[in-house]
Structure 1
Amino acid sequence: MLEIRWHSRAGQGAVTGAKGLGDVIANTGKEVQAFAFYGSAKRGAAMTAYNRIDDQPIINHEKHMVPDYVLVIDPALALSADITAHEKNTTRYIVTTHLSKEALIKQVPKLAGKQVFTVDCMKISMETIGRAIPNTPMLGALMKVSGMFDVEYFKNAMLKVLSKFPQAVIDANMAAIDRAYNEVK
């Protein structure tokens, strides 16, 4: 089973990102879960979202997991939340930040020796979408780091997820996915 934990603040799109990823994966015939845990329902409150992916039916419905990937959408949460909780030796971290990987690890020593990737999803979302909603850039970075799907396949699958939005919003999200895919380090 593949497990993904998202660290975000309410309103940054982690739940929507987890559900969007879930929709894409469900269309491949795999079993998938996408759910969230809110400490507070207020915009800006720290929260986590989760994905589980497997070829077999998923009977575990608990929030506790040992993640293969940890996606940190809000860079401040890398400093204030325990993003390394319940990790595996192979857990990969994708952190939104303008810092280099080395500078991030200096500020978050728990990440030393781990597989850490950085990308500035906030900047990408502001420059492509026009708002600080970094979920689709994070999905682009996840596609690059995980190799889960070819980026073109993933973008085509995301078109269905985003179909309720105007074409300009869809195009902006596609550009955000591409940029994060290409800029993740």
Structure 2
Amino acid sequence: MLEIRWHSRAGQGAITGAKGLADVVAGTGKEVQAFALYGSAKRGAAMTAYNRIDSEPILNHEKFMNPDFILVIDPGLTFITDICANEKPTTQYIITTHLSKEELIEKKPDLKGKKIYTLDCIKISIDTLGKPIPNAPMLGALMKVSGMLEIEFFKNAFKKVLGKKLSQKVIDANMLAIQRAYDEVQ
């Protein structure tokens, strides 16, 4: 089973990202879960979202997991929450930051020796969408790092998910954000 934990602030789109990922992956015939945990529902409050993906029925409905991927879409949460909680030796991190990997590890020594990928999802979302909603760029980075789905397949499937709610202009901007993050994650 593949497990993913998102660290975000309310309003940054982690729940929408987790649900969108689940919709796309469910279309491939896999079993999926997407859910969130947050205290105060105020915009800006720290929260987590989760995905589980498997070929078999998923019987575990608890929030506890040992994630394969930890996605941090708000750079500040890297330093004020325990993003490393319940990790496995093979857990991979995709972290939104303007810092280099070396600077990030220097400021957050807990990350030393871990498999870390970085990119600036906030900047990408502002540049492409005009606002700081970094969930789409994070999904692009996840596709690159995980190899879960081919990027063109993912973008085409995600367009259908977004098409239910958004204008073509916003969908196109999200596709740019996804592709740019896919290309920039390191």
- State the distance in 1 between where 2:19 and 2:34 align: 5
| Mapping for residues 1-185 of structure 1, pairs under 5 Å | 1-163=1-163, 164-185=165-186
TM-score, normalized by length of structure 2? Answer: 0.99
- Code of the aligned partner of 2:176: A
State how far apart, in whole Å, the 1-side matches of 2:144 and 2:31 are.
22
Distance 1:166 1:75 in 2: 29
RMSD over equivalenced CA pairs, Å: 0.4
Q: Which runs of 5+ in 2 are unaligned?
A: none
Q: Distance in 1 between matches of 2:23 and 2:173?
A: 20
SS of the residue aligned with 2:110?
A: helix
**Which amino acid in structure 2 is aligned with residue 122 of structure 1?**
I
| Seq. identity, % | 71
Cα distance in 2 for residues equivalent to 1:151 and 1:120: 19
Question: Secondary structure at the residue paired with 1:149?
Answer: coil
Q: State the Cα deviation string for residues 9-44 of structure 1 (Å, max 9, x = none).
A: 000000000000000001011000000001211110
Q: Which runs of 5+ in 1 are unaligned?
A: none
Aligned partners of 1:30 and 1:116: how far apart in 2?
27
Deviation by residue 1:101-140 (Cα, 9 ceiling, x = unmatched): 1111111110000000001000000000001000000000
Structure 1 segments, 4+ long, off by >2 Å, are none
The alignment of Structure 1 onto Structure 2 pairs a total of residues equal to 185
Specify the code of the residue in structure 1 equivalent to 2:23: D
SS at structure 1 position matched to 2:63: coil
